[in-house]
Amino acid sequence: MVEIRCEDLWKIYGSGTVALRGVSFALVDVSLVILVGPNGSGKTTLVRIIDGEISPSKGFVSINGLSPDVARAKGFFGVMPQEARLHEYLSVREYLYYLALIQGLNRHEAKREVSRIIDDFMLQEYASTRIEYLSAGFKRRILLAQAFLGSPEILLLDEPTVGLDPEMRAKLWDIIMRYARERGSMIILVTHYIDEVRDIASRVLLLYKGQLIFNGNPRELLSKMGYKYRVQVRLRGSKALETPPLRLHYRSGDVIEFYVVDEEELIKLLNYLVSLRDWVSEFSIDRPSLEESYLRLIKLLEGGGSGQHL
């Protein structure tokens, strides 16, 4: 079981920039955590404090009761930094082999581990190629692969799929999700593609201007939208609606959007639409995305003052 506790974390850089403002949370036996927030909200700083790369100005972090420095020395972490480049004059296999040794494996273990990682990340074809000759997508894949060397207890992946095409992104999500399921590692994922991992994420941490404004599961974040379904109806002509069953709706020309809070309301609305069937040309039902919920929270904060915990 992996446990991360952050208590009243503050980070003030030398330039005076306050990156974190009293962030506290506990992650106990959670498999996949999504860390989200607008640019400059402190996500990368938080990741770097957790893995002991930098120290907080105030507050503390403990990893299974250990300080980040001690946890790092014990090889607890596999990290994919947001911005990092590889030693490109090495081949893929050499680079991963040396990093496996640095991770603490001996020569035989390192060779075995590198072969496994090369297979898992589908790098076989280019294993002997110098990294400098590979495409940006492959380099990104190697950057991600090195984090998994030695099956560390905690994986901190800072925007692992940024800049990749959808196909490559889907492949990398598959790999990450498989590790989350099979290896028992805790994965902390900084990403803007939150809806791509919403189904397997067990926790969402939302940072805004250095403050943790949401800490819960994806379902709880979705509930912040205030509705569960969105029903879009296109009418024939400009039919005036008489006593629609929902207070929450919005009309623009011949298109009406209804925001439905539960199944009971949905049935009521569908019955209403049946009564209007001669006027309805088409309709669709969808669920709000995690990204929409997240953006709504941010909008609320920007409109209604920052720092309010939701």
Binding region for another protein (CB under 8 A): 51, 53-55, 72-75, 77-79, 81, 83-87, 89-90, 94-95, 97-99, 101-107, 110, 143, 146-147, 156
Tell the smallest beta-carbon distance from residue 168 to another protein (Å): 20
Tell the smallest beta-carbon distance from residue 37 to another protein (Å): 21
Q: Of 150 and 218, which has the nearer Cβ to another protein?
A: 150
**Beta carbons of 124 and 142 less than 8 angstroms apart:** no
Chain CA centroid to CA 29, Å = 17
Q: Of 11 and 198, which has the nearer Cβ to another protein?
A: 11
Q: Of 105 and 290, which has the nearer Cβ to another protein?
A: 105
> CA 156, CA 144: separation in Å to the nearest integer?
10
Q: Of 102 and 295, which has the nearer Cβ to another protein?
A: 102
Q: Of 102 and 255, which has the nearer Cβ to another protein?
A: 102
300 bridge partner residues: none
> CA 50, CA 156: separation in Å to the nearest integer?
9
Tell the smallest beta-carbon distance from residue 245 to another protein (Å): 55
> CA 221, CA 129: separation in Å to the nearest integer?
44
**Beta carbons of 50 and 156 less than 8 angstroms apart:** yes
8 bridge partner residues: none
Q: Which is nearest to 308 in space by CA: 2, 99, 21?
A: 21
> CA 170, CA 121: separation in Å to the nearest integer?
12
Helix, strand, coil shares, percent, the chain, to 5:
35, 25, 35
> CA 280, CA 21: separation in Å to the nearest integer?
51
Tell the smallest beta-carbon distance from residue 157 to another protein (Å): 11
Q: Of 36 and 149, which has the nearer Cβ to another protein?
A: 149
User: DSSP letter at 288?
Assistant: P
Tell the smallest beta-carbon distance from residue 50 to another protein (Å): 11
Tell the smallest beta-carbon distance from residue 150 to another protein (Å): 9
